[in-house]
A and B are shown apart, each in its own frame.
Chain A
Amino acid sequence: MQGFEPTIVAFCCHYCAYGAADLAGSMRLEYPPNIRVIRLPCTGKITPVFLLRAFEKGADGVYVAGCLEGDCHFIQGNLVAKPRVNYTKKLIEEVGLEPERLEMFNMSAAMGPRFAEVALEFTERIKNLGPSPINKKYRNLKNEAA
Chain B
Amino acid sequence: MVIGERKPFEEITRMLEGHKKVMVLGCGGCVTVCLTGGDEAVRVLSSQLRMARDNQGNPIEIIEKTVERQCDPEYIEEVHALVPEVDAVLSMACGAGVGFMAERYTSTPLYPALNTTFVGGSKKEGYYVERCQTCGECKLYYTGGICPITRCSKSLLNGPCGGSTKGKCEIDPEVDCGWQLIVDRLKSLNLMDRYEEIMTSNDWRTNRDGGPRKMVREDFQR
Give me the interface of A with B, judged by CB distance under 8 Å: 47-49, 52-53, 55-56, 91-92, 94-97, 133-134
Contacts and interface: CB of A to CB of B under 8 A. Distances in A.
DSSP class of B's interface residues: helix, strand, loop or mixed?
Answer: helix
B44 A94 contact: no
Nearest to A93: B9
A95 B51 contact: yes
A49 B47 contact: yes
Given A94-B9, A134-B54, A134-B55, A47 B40 contact: yes
Interface string B81-125: 000000000000000000000000000000000000000000000
Contacts of A56: 47, 50-51
A76 to B, nearest CB: 12
Nearest to A91: B48
Nearest to B57: A139
Given A49-B47, A56-B47, A94 B52 contact: yes
B5 to A, nearest CB: 14
A52 B54 CA distance: 14
Nearest 4 CB-CB pairs, A to B?
Answer: A52-B47, A94-B9, A95-B51, A95-B52
B55 A133 contact: yes
Contacts of A48: 40, 44
Given A49-B47, A56-B50, A95 B40 contact: no
Contacts of A94: 9-10, 48, 52
Contacts of B52: 94-96
Contact of B40 (A49, A91, A96, A133): A49
A95 B44 contact: no
Contacts of B51: 52, 55-56, 92, 95-97, 134
Given A52-B48, A56-B50, A95 B43 contact: no
24 contacts: A47-B40, A48-B40, A49-B40, A49-B47, A52-B43, A52-B44, A52-B48, A52-B51, A55-B51, A56-B47, A56-B50, A56-B51, A91-B44, A91-B48, A94-B9, A94-B10, A95-B52, A95-B55, A96-B55, A97-B51, A133-B54, A134-B51, A134-B54, A134-B55
B55 A53 contact: no
Given A56-B50, A91-B44, 17 more contacts: A48-B44, A49-B40, A49-B44, A49-B47, A52-B43, A52-B51, A56-B51, A91-B48, A94-B10, A94-B52, A95-B48, A95-B51, A95-B52, A95-B55, A97-B51, A134-B51, A134-B55
A75 to B, nearest CB: 15
Contacts of B47: 49, 52-53, 56
Contacts of B40: 47-49
